[in-house]
Every structure is written in structure tokens, then in C-alpha cells.
Chains A and B, each alone.
Chain A
Amino acid sequence: MKLKSLIGAALVAGTLLSGTAMTSMAGATAPEPSGWDDVNDRVVGTGSDTTYPFMQRAELLFNQATGCDTDNASPAASPATYNLGKCLTVGQNATNVLGNWDHDVFASTYPTGSSAGVTALKNGQVDYARSSRGPKSTGESALNFWAFGKDGLIMVTWGNRTPGNLTKAEIQGIYNCTITDWSSIAGQAAGTIEPVGMNASSGTKATFDTYLGFDANSGACKKSLTTGAYPFENDLKPLVADTVISQDNGIWWMSAAAYKAFSYQRQTAAAWTVDGKSATAGTIANNTYPITRFIYHVTKKTDATAAAASAEITGADTGPGGAVRELTEFMCKPSASHTNNDYSGKSNYIELGTAYTQTGFIRVPAAEQTNGICKLVPGA
């Protein structure tokens, strides 16, 4: 579903969608509206654990979105040329091009970590990636990072330790092992601090490393699980169950969104303020909370890109790459360019809003949007 965005924009602008114009735009033949390959591509993404719940919800909404009338005839004798539910090429009556015309199908695989997902995308092993970190300074020039939401990182303790405030210097000192006892922190009872590390592929770890200015797993005092592995981000259960990590003296960091949204993963974690600030949606939105980050949908530049300040996503016209472009546009276009979900009757913009609420993220604040309601950060 490849030039649908152009057509959608034309519709929104009130352009008369004549068959001639459409065919010209798409380089395709009738029936109208065309411009797509009329095939429902199966598209796979992988990567971040933190953004996995959101992307699953967004993909479901896109998978459900309105599109073409489909060819529902029984499979023909030649399965190689058959695509179940492809668009009718004769007798096409559908006209809504603001959803998922081809009925492309997206699925997120189980989390592997942001960097592993980005690498898999670079390698051509998946069609798109989930990332809770931005692009690295080198090696990712073929990729576009589409920030669709915002998050913060919070410091948490659990067990019987009562949260207080930590300064950045104190957090750095804890993770570089120059602050080793809780009595060094205002208002805290004594106890040897046990800073827990994190899965090295995690975007949440990459963001925290950037904040610290060094590798959070590098300190001699850092803790891993009894198995020797570092825990996956945001899930306190393995830490609570671990017999080596002290329940009252451990410290870790989490996604503020995951902390809010998933009480089972949060367990008894309790958040600290950082530099006197709580991680609220408001302080994350206006950057007064000291550790904020964007969360990203990552594409190949050849699949999805956009001119400066444009909400129009251009790129691939066919196959999974074109489908990725359509999903990107679905996630980044403003409210007025969405149509209703066929099952709820509510705008897909509202349905996506519910996904943000369910997963704890917030949309990219207006002042930080660059393309539609997203912030595009090209890889370097």
C-alpha cells in the first residue's frame, strides 16, 4: 500500500481524485483507487522490550484499519499466484484510502533489545525495528528513527527502602562505585548499595549510559542475576526472586512508562525523585525531569522518509517496504487524517491515544514534533 499517503493528502486537500490522476500518480492500472500493489504483505519487526506493548497495540489498530474490498474466493489451483484477501482488481467499491488499503499485516516479534532490533533491520532480517534509544553517532546512516512517543527513566528501589531524592552526581557515584553505602544518601539507613546492571542490547540501558556518561554495567560493584546474566529492562520480577541481590539495598533504573503501566512487572518498585523532580507526564513533556528520551519506530530510509517539516511520508511503493511506509504514516499523521476503527467506531487517532495511556507513554509534545505528530531523527 504504497502511494496511499499521497492520495490521502490529495483527498484531504480536496483534490479531485480522477482515475487519470490516480493512475498517473501510481503508475498502476485500474481499478481506482490504485497506486498500491493490492497485496496484503506480511511484515515483521523486532527490537525493544520497552516499546513492545505499544507497538503490538499500534499494529493491531493498523491491521484492523479500513482498506480495499478483498478477493475472498477460495484459493485457486495455483497457490503461487494466490494471495488470500488481496484487493479486488475488478469491482472494487472501497474508497477510503486513509487506513490500511492493502490490509497489510504487521507483527512484532518477542523483544530482543533495541540495538539487536536495529541490527536485524540493518541486516535485512526484519522489515522494521523497535527502539527505545535514538540513533548512534555512526553506523546507522541507512535508517530513520521516528520518535512517536516520549518517556523518562526513573531510579527505583524495592523491599523496605523508602525512596528519597538522588542527584545526578549521586547516581553516577552509585554506578561508578564511589558511593557504596546508603548512609551517604540523605535520609537513608545504612546498607551496602547494590547497583543492578541491565541487558546490554537494551535501549533503556543505552539511554542510561548516555545519562551517566559511562557504561552502567562496568562498575566493579554492579550486580547481575545469580545466573550471571543482566536482567531485561523494566521487569523487576527476576530481581525480586534473586537470592543474591539484596531486596533492601538494590537500586535499578526503569522506563517511567513501563513503571506506570505494568504493575506486575513493577512489583514493589518505588520511584525516587532525581534532582528534586518527579517523573510525571508533565515534567517529561517539558523536559524539566532530568532523564527523558524519545521512543522510536525505526525504518530503512528507502522505505520511509519525509522532507523537512512534512507530514507526508515517502519511500517504498510496493512490498513490505511500502507497507512499512504506510504504518509509519499511520503512526505519525495528525488526528484529522485518521478515519474510524471499524470495530470501535472511534477515530484511530483516539484508539492510538488509548494505546499510549495503556502503555504509559505520552505523544511527542507539539514543540518537539517535526513530521506530523512524530519527530524524525535520521540515522548517521
Chain B
Amino acid sequence: MRLSRVRFGVLTGSLGTVVLLLGMSNASAESSVSVAPDPIPVTAEQSAALVQVSWSGLEPRQLVFVDICRKSISDSSFTVAEDCGAYSGLTPNGSAAGEGSAELEVFRGQDPAGEAWGCYAEADTAPAGVIKYTTCFVRVTDTTVLNVDSDSETPIRFEGAGRVDPGTSATTGAGPPPPQLPSSGSSSSALAGPSTVDDAEALQFAGSDSGAGVAITG
């Protein structure tokens, strides 16, 4: 599941443009990213899940930025500061090959930094005033988090029984609850079995959250 800016542009353009840009896309180095498992299985109790993020095509030996975002990078209004979780990213060292992988804890529920959005399973209930995204995105880029020349993304979705999200401390005024990960048995199963989804599906996911798929609950 990968969706670089170039490729997204390719797939959303007119047919003629698609053919032209596909050639450009294939000729240029572009990054890609995938997440396993996909979708992410969760129990009703889980407020976070561990996934394996794998990337390639980044600038060699440059710092890598892995972030969880509510909007697609193809959305013209996307900004890292407003649309990616401030507390949920990783910054692994880059490799000589520009590829690598890392274990990422994906939050299920309100953004841990307390902003008024979150990533949810379809059956989840978000706190009042918190925008419920049933598709979020894992974005990778290199050198600086603001670098949009190397970034790519993949959509992520939770699949499982619904949960009522109490919200983060910024919403509730209480201390932050520790993330509830699955037990060791289910954790290993959550990281097993990487699946692949083609770009057409990626476009569907992106479309659902940039339009009618966004739900405001409460």
C-alpha cells in the first residue's frame, strides 16, 4: 500500500495526463511505504496497536520521519503541523539504501496530543467535538518532516469491535490513559501477515476521508 504524491497525481488526473505522468513517475525515484497488518485488527479494549512500517526510495543516510496523519498528502489543504499527530511520530536513522522498517504504535482514538481529531474503527464512538477518521495515513519522508519532495503515504484502518473513546487528557482534563495494546499473543498476530492493497484501493481510502467519509460524532 503505497501512495506517493506523484503516483496520486497520476491516478487522479485525466487519462491522457495519466499516461504522461506515469512515465514521469516511473522515471523518477519516489518513495513508498507500507504498513502491516492492513487493516489493523483491534479488540474492543485496544487504544493502540503496533504495526510494522516499511519504506524505500528515501534519500540515503538522511533522517526518516514516520508520522500518523488524518489527511492524505494529496489533499491540497494538508499540512504536517495541522494534520499529523504531534506525539505519534518516529524519526529513525536513514540507511545507505534509503529503505528500512520500524515498529510504530498507532493510536486508536483521539490524537494523543489532544487535538480534536482521531483515528477510529468504523464502530468506534469518538468524544464530542472530536472528528472521527476511519482512515488515517502513515506518511514517511526524509531530511525534515516538512519535506514534501520525498514523502509518500499509505492509508491505515482499524478493524474490530467498537469502542467508546474517553478522549485524551486535553479533552477530559484527566491524566492520559496508558495506551492499551493487545496481549503478547494477539500482539504477535497483529504484526503477522502483511497484506497488499493496490493503489486503486488507496485512492478509495483517500477519497473517503477527504469528503463524505469524515464523521463528526457526539
Contacts and interface: CB of A to CB of B under 8 A. Distances in A.
B25 interface: no
A201 interface: no
Given A363-B113, A366-B176, A278 B90 contact: yes
B9 to A, nearest CB: 24
B169 A358 contact: no
A120 interface: no
B194 interface: no
A86 to B, nearest CB: 34
Contacts, number: 73
A278 B87 contact: no
Given A286-B176, A353-B82, A366-B114, A280 B89 contact: yes
Interface residues of B, number: 29
Interface in A239-279: 259-263, 266, 268, 270-271, 278-279
A357 B61 contact: no
A366 B99 CA distance: 35
Contacts of B114: 366
A10 B93 CA distance: 49
A350 B83 CA distance: 11
B91 A282 contact: no
A362 interface: yes
Nearest to B92: A278
Interface in B112-145: 112-114, 143-145
A233 to B, nearest CB: 18
A357 B143 CA distance: 14
Interface in B136-169: 143-146, 168-169
Nearest to B79: A354
B199 interface: no
Interface string A276-308: 001111100110000000000000000000000
A163 interface: yes
A285 B178 CA distance: 12
Contacts of A281: 86-89
A104 to B, nearest CB: 25
A358 B170 CA distance: 22
Contacts of B91: 260, 271, 278-280
B87 A163 contact: no
B106 to A, nearest CB: 11
B93 A163 contact: yes
B40 to A, nearest CB: 17
Contact of B170 (A271, A280, A353, A366): A366
A350 B113 contact: no
A105 B171 CA distance: 34
B63 A285 contact: no
B36 to A, nearest CB: 20
A363 B93 contact: no
Contacts of B168: 366
Interface in B50-105: 61-63, 65, 79-82, 86-93, 105
B211 interface: no
B193 interface: no
A367 interface: yes
Contacts of B185: none
B118 to A, nearest CB: 15
Interface in B171-203: 175-176
A358 B80 CA distance: 10
Given A263-B143, A358-B146, 4 more contacts: A261-B145, A262-B144, A281-B89, A362-B113
Lowest 9 A-B CB distances belong to which pairs?
A: A357-B81, A366-B169, A354-B81, A366-B170, A285-B87, A270-B93, A281-B87, A282-B87, A367-B175
Interface of A: 163, 259-263, 266, 268, 270-271, 278-282, 285-286, 350, 353-354, 356-358, 362-363, 365-367
Interface of B: 61-63, 65, 79-82, 86-93, 105, 112-114, 143-146, 168-170, 175-176
